[in-house]
Each structure stands twice: as structure tokens, then as C-alpha cells.
């Protein structure tokens, strides 16, 4: 892909790109809707990436072309302000906006973006685009920005410019991902460490099930879930708990009498999901695949019943894997409301599992899903030209 993108850039702009960066999408192995509450997560970068190529101009014009949708646009710094309705180019505008907000000067450029992360599939294509663009533009404009600052700036751009109140996890893993490892991250302290996934790689087929149900987070209930989580945390703090991570099962039971049912269910998911992340660390260390699969299953059930972010297509996927010989575990990954799930099946069982999933989706009259095996990849890269 690298050479073809360079060739396309040269053909479109009649010059070579000066920078070429890429950043990965991600799966979240466990720890869903816990990042924006300061909890624990265990994401991993995947071998699907967003690519950004650019070269400087001698005028203020900022020109952008998307290979994936074959569309182009031009704008200047005066045109960069938060949109009422998000368009494909607003993610790049958000990066230019956050650079200026933080005192990093920008100027005219020609840029090309491309990628093979399915959009709207819950694999964090937006964060990958933001990170690849932020790294690329900081290099183009000769700014040296630390990696953690890049992740935090990209998150703020999505929060305050695009309008999606995401946590830091997606941008963080897109920067810090390591090949064949997940990253355990405490989103409250930003303490993190790599977690080997060699057992999963050797003994299972890890795959993504893209339901085909696209979701626009800015127009979904995602921000509502975040609001409910904030309300629940405020309630807990009035009773002496500083974070969801502090809640014991006994304290959780006590809260059931004090909270309305919706807030209690949201709390129960977040508290139990934080505990599942810690369980997963132990299961991976012990190479206990049965426990790994069980944790995935319990996470999906909690997301379905307590956080209410699943959908019929992903619930079918979950049930098929539970009943499939060689199926170890499955759950939705990402924010939900459509998008994708991840599953583990015994090594060599993916072709048969794929056929079963396709048949069951067809019986239900669901959209034809996309199913693809993935590898765990590294984070942001700067490619030689």
C-alpha cells in the first residue's frame, strides 16, 4: 500500500510527499465504557491502519483528498471551527484546531488520507485518523510533541471539536500499541504496561465480526451513557466513594436501594467491568483460555443487560459463538450501538465458524457481516519515503 499511496500523492499534487505516517485501529479485549470513568482497560492495536501523507505549500491553502471516498476539499485556517454536522474532513480540521489551541503554528499543505479500518465498525477509525494526522502535521510543521501529549490532544480534539465525549483509550492505544501485546491502562492515573498475548496468538483464532450496522457516535446514545455514568459517580461520591474502582460488591448492593434503576445498572456494569479487566490480567498470565473466554462472555452480557449498548446483530453473534464447538468467548467491542464484536475460537476453527455465523445472520435477515482474522500490531509509525 505504501508505494501506491506515494504514487497517488505525486499524481494528484505533482510533487512528492514530505511526510508519511500511519496509526492503527484497535480492539478492546476487555474494559468497555470504563475509560471515561477513570477505570481500567485492556486494548490492543490491530493490523488495520489509517495513512496520512502531506507536503507543505507556500500559500495558506489546506488541501485534502480522501482515497477511500474519492473526495477532496480545500480550506484555510479561517474555515476551522467546530461544525454543526460532522463531515469526513472535520477530523483533520479538529487536529489543526487543537494544534493552534496549544500554540503550535500551522500553514498551508497538500494532504492525502487513506486506510483499511472499516468506518463505523467500532474499531476506532476516527482515533487512528486523528493520531496519524496529528503526528504527520506536527512533523510537517516541525513541532516536537511528546507521544502522550499527542494522545491527549487528539482526544480533546474529538471531545471539543467533533463533539464525541470519548475517553482516552482509543487515542492512547493508537499511539502506544505494541506488536503481539495488549496495553493495560489505568485511565485515572495513566499508568500502563504491555501485556503479552502470545497464548491467544498460538492457541486461538482471534477475529472481528463486523455486524454491518454503522453507528454515528455523535448522533447516538453514547454521550447519554457518559452523562449517566457521571451522574452515577456523583451519587457515589456523596456516599464516600472517590471512583468506580473503589466500590466493593457489598457497597454496590447498598447502592441499589439509593439509586434509580437505570443509574444502578450503569454503575453495576462499570464496577464489574473494572473487575473483569483485573481478572483478565490474571487469566492471561496463567494461560487459562477457559477463564479468558468466560470473562469475554460476562462482559458482553453486562454490556447488553446493564449498559444497554448492544443490538440484535451483535447478540446473535454472541449466542452463536457460545454454542459453537470450539467457541471460547465473544463480546461486542467498542462503544456498541452497532459496530463489531471480537471472538476467540480454537485454532483452525475460524473457517467453520465463519460459515455458521453467515448462515445464522442470513436466517435472521440481518445484513451480511464481515469477518476477518486480525493480528495485534504496533502503534503510530513514521514511514520513510
Give the CA count within 13 Å in the CB-facing half-sphere of 59: 6
- Cell readout for 209 is 465480526
- Per residue in 58-85, pLDDT (tens digit) is 999 999 999 999 999 999 999 999 998 8
pLDDT of residue 242: 83
Residue 157, helix vs strand vs coil: helix
Compute how many other C-beta atoms are within 10 angstroms of the C-beta atom of residue 299.
26
In this prediction, residues 223-227 reach a mean pLDDT of: 90
Q: Could you say which of 170, 210, 306, 377 is catalytic?
A: 170
pLDDT in tens, 84-108: 888 999 999 999 999 999 999 999 9
Q: What does the pLDDT look like over 301-354, one tens digit per residue?
A: 999 999 999 999 999 999 999 999 999 999 999 888 889 999 999 999 999 999
Torsion angles phi and psi, residue 211, rounded to 5? -65, -20
pLDDT above 60: residue 219: no
pLDDT, tens digit, for every residue of 228-273? 999 999 998 888 788 999 888 788 888 888 899 999 999 999 999 9
Q: From 332, 359, 270, select the one nearest 307 (Cα to Cα).
A: 270
Average pLDDT on 371-382 reads 94
* Alpha-carbon distance values, 29 to 42, 240, 243, 283, 362 (Å): 6, 31, 22, 13, 27
pLDDT surpassing 80 at residue 202: yes
What is the Cα–Cα distance from 324 to 345, expressed in whole angstroms? 9
Helix and strand numbers, DSSP H then E, in the chain:
12, 12
pLDDT at residue 220 tops 70: no
- What is residue 118's DSSP assignment? P
C-alpha cell at 181: 501485546
Q: How many CB atoms lie within 10 A of CB 132?
A: 29
**pLDDT the model gives residue 151:** 97
pLDDT of residue 216: 59
Contact in structure between 306 and 265 (CB atoms under 8 Å): yes
pLDDT band for 218, please (50, 70, 90 cuts): very low
H/E stretch holding 358? helix 350-364
Grid coordinates standing for 186?
Answer: 489505568
* SS3 assignment, position 178: strand
Q: Residue 172's pLDDT is what? A: 97
Q: pLDDT, tens digit, for every residue of 144-191?
A: 999 999 999 999 999 999 988 788 999 999 999 999 999 999 999 999
- CB of 77 closer than 8 Å to CB of 96: yes
The whole-number pLDDT of residue 60 equals 95
Residue 295: pLDDT above 60? yes
Closest CA to 200 of 366, 70, 329: 329
pLDDT at 122: 79
Secondary structure (H, E, C), 231-298: HHHHHHHHCCCCCHHHCCHHHHHHHCCCCCHHHHHHHHHHHHHHHHHHHHHHHHHCCCHHHHHHHHHH
Domains of the chain with bracketed CATH? 2-194+378-382 (3.30.230.10), 196-373 (3.30.70.890)
Angle at 119 between CA 221 and CA 110, to 5 degrees: 120
- CA-to-CA distance for 366 and 310, rounded, in angstroms? 15
For this structure, is 170 an active site residue? yes
Amino acid at each position: 500500500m505504501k508505494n501506491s499511496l506515494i504514487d497517488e500523492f505525486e499524481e494528484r499534487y505533482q510533487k512528492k510527499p514530505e511526510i508519511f505516517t500511519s496509526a492503527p485501529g484497535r480492539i478492546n479485549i476487555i474494559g468497555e465504557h470504563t475509560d471515561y470513568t477513570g477505570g481500567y482497560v485492556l486494548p490492543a492495536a490491530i493490523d488495520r491502519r489509517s495513512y496520512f501523507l502531506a507536503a507543505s505549500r507556500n500559500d495558506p491553502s489546506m488541501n485534502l483528498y480522501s482515497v477511500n471516498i474519492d473526495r477532496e476539499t480545500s480550506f484555510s485556517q479561517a474555515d476551522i471551527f467546530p461544525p454543526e454536522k460532522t463531515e469526513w474532513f472535520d477530523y483533520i480540521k479538529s487536529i489543526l484546531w487543537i494544534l493552534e489551541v496549544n500554540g503550535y503554528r500551522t500553514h498551508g499543505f497538500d494532504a492525502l488520507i487513506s486506510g483499511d479500518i472499516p468506518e463505523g465498525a467500532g474499531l476506532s477509525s476516527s482515533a487512528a485518523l486523528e493520531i496519524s494526522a496529528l503526528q504527520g502535521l506536527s512533523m510537517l510543521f516541525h513541532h516536537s510533541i511528546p507521544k502522550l501529549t499527542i494522545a491527549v490532544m487528539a482526544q480533546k480534539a474529538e471531545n471539543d471539536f467533533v463533539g464525541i465525549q470519548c475517553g482516552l483509550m482509543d487515542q492512547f492505544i493508537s499511539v502506544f500499541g505494541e506488536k503481539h501485546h495488549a496495553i493495560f491502562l489505568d485511565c485515572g492515573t495513566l499508568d500502563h504496561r504491555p501485556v503479552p498475548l502470545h497464548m491467544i496468538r498460538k492457541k486461538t483464532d482471534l477475529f472481528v465480526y463486523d455486524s454491518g450496522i454503522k453507528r454515528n457516535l455523535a448522533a447516538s446514545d453514547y454521550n447519554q451513557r457518559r452523562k449517566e455514568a457521571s451522574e452515577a459517580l456523583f451519587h457515589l461520591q456523596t456516599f464516600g466513594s472517590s471512583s468506580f474502582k473503589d466500590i466493593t460488591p457489598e457497597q454496590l448492593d447498598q447502592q441499589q436501594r439509593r439509586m434509580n434503576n437505570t443509574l444502578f445498572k450503569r454503575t453495576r456494569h462499570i464496577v464489574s467491568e473494572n473487575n473483569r479487566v483485573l481478572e483478565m490480567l490474571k487469566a492471561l498470565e496463567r494461560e487459562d483460555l477457559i477463564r479468558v473466554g468466560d470473562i469475554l462472555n460476562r462482559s458482553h452480557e453486562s454490556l447488553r443487560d446493564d449498559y444497554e449498548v448492544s443490538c440484535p446483530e451483535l447478540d446473535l453473534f454472541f449466542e452463536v459463538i457460545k454454542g459453537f464447538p470450539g467457541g471460547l468467548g465473544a463480546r461486542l467491542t467498542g462503544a456498541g450501538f452497532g459496530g463489531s464484536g471480537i471472538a476467540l475460537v480454537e485454532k483452525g476453527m475460524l473457517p467453520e465458524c465463519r460459515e455458521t455465523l453467515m448462515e445464522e445472520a442470513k436466517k435472521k435477515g440481518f445484513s451480511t457481516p464481515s469477518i476477518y482474522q486480525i493480528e495485534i500490531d504496533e502503534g503510530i509509525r513514521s514511514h520513510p519515503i
